[in-house]
Amino acid sequence: MDLASFVQRSEGEWRSMRSGHSLAFQHFEEVLSKISIEKLDVEDPRVKELIATHSELNIEPVSPFRMEWSAESDWEPDDPNDVSAGSCVLVPLPLDEHSGWLLRSVGYAEAEQATGQYRLLEEGTFILKTRYGQSIAEERIWFVSDNVRCRASVLRTSEGSGVLQTSFSSEVRRIRV
Protein backbone atom coordinates (compact mmCIF):
# COMPACT_ATOMS: atom_id res chain seq x y z
CA MET A 1 0.00 0.00 0.00
CA ASP A 2 1.35 3.44 -0.83
CA LEU A 3 0.63 6.68 0.99
CA ALA A 4 -1.98 7.87 -1.49
CA SER A 5 -3.97 4.64 -0.99
CA PHE A 6 -3.61 4.97 2.76
CA VAL A 7 -5.07 8.49 2.71
CA GLN A 8 -7.76 7.33 0.28
CA ARG A 9 -8.85 4.52 2.61
CA SER A 10 -8.83 6.94 5.55
CA GLU A 11 -11.16 9.43 3.96
CA GLY A 12 -14.63 9.65 5.48
CA GLU A 13 -16.43 9.88 8.78
CA TRP A 14 -15.26 7.79 11.71
CA ARG A 15 -16.47 7.10 15.21
CA SER A 16 -13.59 6.68 17.61
CA MET A 17 -13.25 4.90 20.97
CA ARG A 18 -10.06 6.11 22.58
CA SER A 19 -8.39 4.79 25.71
CA GLY A 20 -5.53 6.68 27.30
CA HIS A 21 -3.10 5.09 29.74
CA SER A 22 -1.07 7.27 32.11
CA LEU A 23 1.67 4.83 32.99
CA ALA A 24 3.01 6.45 36.16
CA PHE A 25 -0.40 6.72 37.80
CA GLN A 26 -2.03 3.69 36.18
CA HIS A 27 -4.83 5.99 35.23
CA PHE A 28 -7.27 5.16 32.43
CA GLU A 29 -9.03 7.73 30.28
CA GLU A 30 -11.90 7.04 27.88
CA VAL A 31 -13.15 9.29 25.12
CA LEU A 32 -15.75 8.77 22.42
CA SER A 33 -15.36 11.09 19.47
CA LYS A 34 -16.18 11.71 15.84
CA ILE A 35 -13.45 12.13 13.30
CA SER A 36 -13.78 13.39 9.77
CA ILE A 37 -11.03 13.06 7.18
CA GLU A 38 -11.22 14.75 3.80
CA LYS A 39 -8.66 15.04 1.05
CA LEU A 40 -7.55 18.49 0.02
CA ASP A 41 -6.35 19.72 -3.33
CA VAL A 42 -2.61 20.38 -3.49
CA GLU A 43 -3.54 23.87 -4.68
CA ASP A 44 -5.74 24.53 -1.64
CA PRO A 45 -4.59 27.78 0.07
CA ARG A 46 -4.40 25.98 3.44
CA VAL A 47 -1.99 23.45 1.93
CA LYS A 48 0.10 26.12 0.22
CA GLU A 49 0.29 28.13 3.42
CA LEU A 50 1.62 25.17 5.39
CA ILE A 51 4.18 24.24 2.74
CA ALA A 52 5.38 27.85 2.63
CA THR A 53 6.52 27.53 6.25
CA HIS A 54 8.86 24.70 5.15
CA SER A 55 10.03 25.91 1.76
CA GLU A 56 13.52 24.59 2.57
CA LEU A 57 12.23 21.02 2.11
CA ASN A 58 11.32 21.73 -1.51
CA ILE A 59 9.28 18.53 -2.01
CA GLU A 60 6.03 18.17 -3.94
CA PRO A 61 3.14 17.26 -1.60
CA VAL A 62 1.13 14.05 -2.05
CA SER A 63 -2.43 13.54 -0.83
CA PRO A 64 -2.81 16.43 1.62
CA PHE A 65 -5.85 16.11 3.84
CA ARG A 66 -7.79 17.74 6.63
CA MET A 67 -8.83 16.09 9.87
CA GLU A 68 -11.57 17.30 12.16
CA TRP A 69 -12.55 15.81 15.51
CA SER A 70 -15.04 16.44 18.28
CA ALA A 71 -15.60 14.54 21.49
CA GLU A 72 -19.04 13.02 21.90
CA SER A 73 -18.53 12.44 25.54
CA ASP A 74 -15.62 13.36 27.67
CA TRP A 75 -15.54 11.78 31.05
CA GLU A 76 -12.50 13.71 32.22
CA PRO A 77 -13.52 17.34 31.73
CA ASP A 78 -10.78 18.62 34.04
CA ASP A 79 -7.94 17.00 32.17
CA PRO A 80 -5.85 19.86 30.72
CA ASN A 81 -4.56 17.55 27.96
CA ASP A 82 -8.02 17.04 26.57
CA VAL A 83 -8.86 18.88 23.44
CA SER A 84 -12.52 18.25 22.86
CA ALA A 85 -12.75 19.59 19.32
CA GLY A 86 -10.42 20.82 16.64
CA SER A 87 -9.15 20.43 13.14
CA CYS A 88 -5.85 20.36 11.35
CA VAL A 89 -4.40 20.29 7.88
CA LEU A 90 -1.86 17.55 7.14
CA VAL A 91 0.54 17.60 4.22
CA PRO A 92 2.74 14.57 3.37
CA LEU A 93 6.03 15.40 1.65
CA PRO A 94 7.44 12.04 0.47
CA LEU A 95 11.18 11.36 0.46
CA ASP A 96 10.65 8.01 -1.25
CA GLU A 97 7.85 5.50 -1.74
CA HIS A 98 7.73 4.50 1.92
CA SER A 99 8.76 7.51 3.98
CA GLY A 100 8.77 11.26 4.20
CA TRP A 101 7.80 14.30 6.20
CA LEU A 102 4.33 15.08 7.44
CA LEU A 103 3.53 18.72 8.10
CA ARG A 104 0.59 19.44 10.36
CA SER A 105 -0.95 22.77 11.15
CA VAL A 106 -1.78 21.72 14.73
CA GLY A 107 0.18 19.12 16.69
CA TYR A 108 -1.13 16.01 18.40
CA ALA A 109 0.75 16.26 21.68
CA GLU A 110 1.03 20.02 21.82
CA ALA A 111 -1.07 22.66 20.09
CA GLU A 112 1.66 23.99 17.87
CA GLN A 113 2.49 23.47 14.23
CA ALA A 114 4.55 20.31 13.90
CA THR A 115 6.66 18.36 11.43
CA GLY A 116 6.80 14.60 11.76
CA GLN A 117 8.59 11.81 9.95
CA TYR A 118 6.46 9.01 8.61
CA ARG A 119 7.15 5.51 7.38
CA LEU A 120 4.72 3.16 5.75
CA LEU A 121 5.60 -0.46 6.54
CA GLU A 122 5.25 -3.07 3.83
CA GLU A 123 2.29 -4.72 5.57
CA GLY A 124 0.39 -1.42 5.68
CA THR A 125 1.11 0.16 9.07
CA PHE A 126 1.65 3.90 9.01
CA ILE A 127 4.17 5.09 11.64
CA LEU A 128 4.60 8.75 12.48
CA LYS A 129 7.19 10.28 14.79
CA THR A 130 6.80 13.89 15.80
CA ARG A 131 9.10 15.88 18.02
CA TYR A 132 7.47 18.64 20.05
CA GLY A 133 9.04 21.09 22.48
CA GLN A 134 8.41 18.94 25.54
CA SER A 135 7.73 15.51 24.12
CA ILE A 136 8.07 13.04 21.28
CA ALA A 137 4.98 11.31 19.94
CA GLU A 138 4.96 8.06 17.99
CA GLU A 139 1.69 7.12 16.34
CA ARG A 140 0.88 3.92 14.47
CA ILE A 141 -2.22 3.53 12.36
CA TRP A 142 -3.31 0.36 10.61
CA PHE A 143 -6.47 -0.91 8.96
CA VAL A 144 -7.99 -4.11 10.27
CA SER A 145 -10.71 -3.97 7.63
CA ASP A 146 -12.02 -1.39 5.17
CA ASN A 147 -14.19 0.05 7.93
CA VAL A 148 -12.07 -0.36 11.05
CA ARG A 149 -8.72 1.35 11.77
CA CYS A 150 -6.61 1.15 14.88
CA ARG A 151 -4.38 3.95 16.10
CA ALA A 152 -1.84 3.50 18.90
CA SER A 153 0.26 6.34 20.21
CA VAL A 154 3.10 6.67 22.67
CA LEU A 155 4.23 9.93 24.23
CA ARG A 156 7.77 10.22 25.61
CA THR A 157 9.71 12.97 27.27
CA SER A 158 11.90 14.72 24.75
CA GLU A 159 14.87 14.28 27.05
CA GLY A 160 15.63 10.68 27.85
CA SER A 161 13.43 7.76 27.02
CA GLY A 162 10.72 8.05 29.67
CA VAL A 163 7.34 6.94 28.38
CA LEU A 164 4.64 9.27 29.70
CA GLN A 165 1.47 7.85 28.28
CA THR A 166 0.05 5.62 25.63
CA SER A 167 -3.29 5.66 23.92
CA PHE A 168 -5.28 3.45 21.63
CA SER A 169 -8.20 4.28 19.38
CA SER A 170 -10.57 1.97 17.57
CA GLU A 171 -12.06 3.87 14.67
CA VAL A 172 -15.18 2.56 12.96
CA ARG A 173 -16.44 4.09 9.74
CA ARG A 174 -19.78 5.84 10.07
CA ILE A 175 -22.27 5.16 7.35
CA ARG A 176 -23.94 8.33 6.20
CA VAL A 177 -27.71 8.05 6.08
Note whether 163 binds a copy of itself by CB under 8 A: yes
Among 113, 125, 129, 174, binds a copy of itself (CB under 8 A): 125
Note whether 1 binds a copy of itself by CB under 8 A: no
CB of 16 to a copy of itself, least distance (A): 10
Region 140-159 residues binding a copy of itself, contact defined as CB under 8 A: 144-145, 148, 150, 152, 154, 156
Q: Are 47 and 65 in contact (CB under 8 A)?
A: no
| Closest of 16, 61, 5, 47 to residue 153, by C-alpha | 16
Those residues whose C-beta lies under 8 Å from the C-beta of residue 96, and which sit 6 or more positions away, are none
**40 vs 164, beta carbon nearer a copy of itself:** 164
**9 vs 119, beta carbon nearer a copy of itself:** 119
Region 14-43 residues binding a copy of itself, contact defined as CB under 8 A: 15, 17, 19, 21, 23, 26, 28, 30, 32
Q: Strand locations in the chain, DSSP E? A: 12-22, 27-39, 65-74, 85-94, 99-104, 114-120, 126-131, 135-145, 148-157, 163-173
| Closest of 172, 129, 149 to residue 13, by C-alpha | 172
**31 vs 88, beta carbon nearer a copy of itself:** 31
Reduce the DSSP state of residue 5 to 3 states and report it.
helix
Note whether 131 binds a copy of itself by CB under 8 A: no
Question: How many residues appear in the chain?
Answer: 177
**132 vs 168, beta carbon nearer a copy of itself:** 168
